[in-house]
Amino acid sequence: MPNTTTIAEWAKSLGISRQQGYAAVNRCSIPVVDGRLDPDVAGVLYQKHTRARANGKRGANSAGAADAAGASAGNALATGYDSSRARREEAEAAISEMRLAEMQGKYLVKAEVAAAVFAIARALRDGLTNSARRIAADVAGLSDAQACEEVIEREHRALMLSMVQSITVKLDISEQQEHEDADA
């Protein structure tokens, strides 16, 4: 007959109370003959049907198969927690670096850029729409197509320069940055 022990002794070897041992026998369907059980079979069934605890108290005092399974489960929990914590710390550090760069003016806030670009595009649209009224009188007296083209080009150039100036002001772009971007 295999090595058997009482439920109370088995529970003590796991580091749980006698009452928890009896409850585990019922919950995990551990076979009991004459009030005794095989600790190896009981340990395997107990580990299969019991969720490992985060505090790791179970398994540290167990014997046989329960000890090996409990210790490896405890190490897996510790390793999983440590790696999760390390990933979280890395993410928090990256977020902090991005916030610092944003405060230093290295990054632009997407919503602010979108609002500025929308306002600039709307101003350009309005300027182009109204340009026909503004230059109509200038173009009406001209008989040469080239002269008409020059007036229209001058108006468009003024609108484009206005747009560039708006972008520079609203997005706080310095001329030094513009020259760096042109060189790149």
Do 91 and 127 have their domain in common? no
Quick one: pLDDT at residue 19? 92
Do 37 and 6 have their domain in common? yes
- Name the domain count of the chain: 2
Do 77 and 20 have their domain in common? yes
**4 or 79, higher pLDDT:** 4
Do 124 and 88 have their domain in common? no
Residue located via tokens 């897996």: 76
Do 145 and 64 have their domain in common? no
Q: Calculate ∠ Cα 150-170-158, nearest 5°.
A: 5
Quick one: pLDDT at residue 111? 87
62: confidence class by pLDDT, cuts 50, 70, 90: very low
Do 15 and 95 have their domain in common? yes
Task: With beta carbons less than 8 A apart as the criterion, state whether 170 and 116 touch.
Answer: yes
**Residue 138 is part of which domain span?**
108-183
Tell me the mean pLDDT in the region 152-177: 81
Tell me the mean pLDDT in the region 151-158: 90
Convert the pLDDT of each residue in 86-128 to its tens digit: 899 999 999 999 889 888 878 777 888 888 889 889 988 898 8
Sequence-ordered alpha helix ranges (H) in the chain: 7-14, 18-27, 39-49, 64-103, 110-140, 145-170, 175-183
Q: Which of 62, 61, 54 is nearest to 82 (CA)?
A: 54
Q: Which of 58, 17, 18, 10 is nearest to 37 (CA)?
A: 10
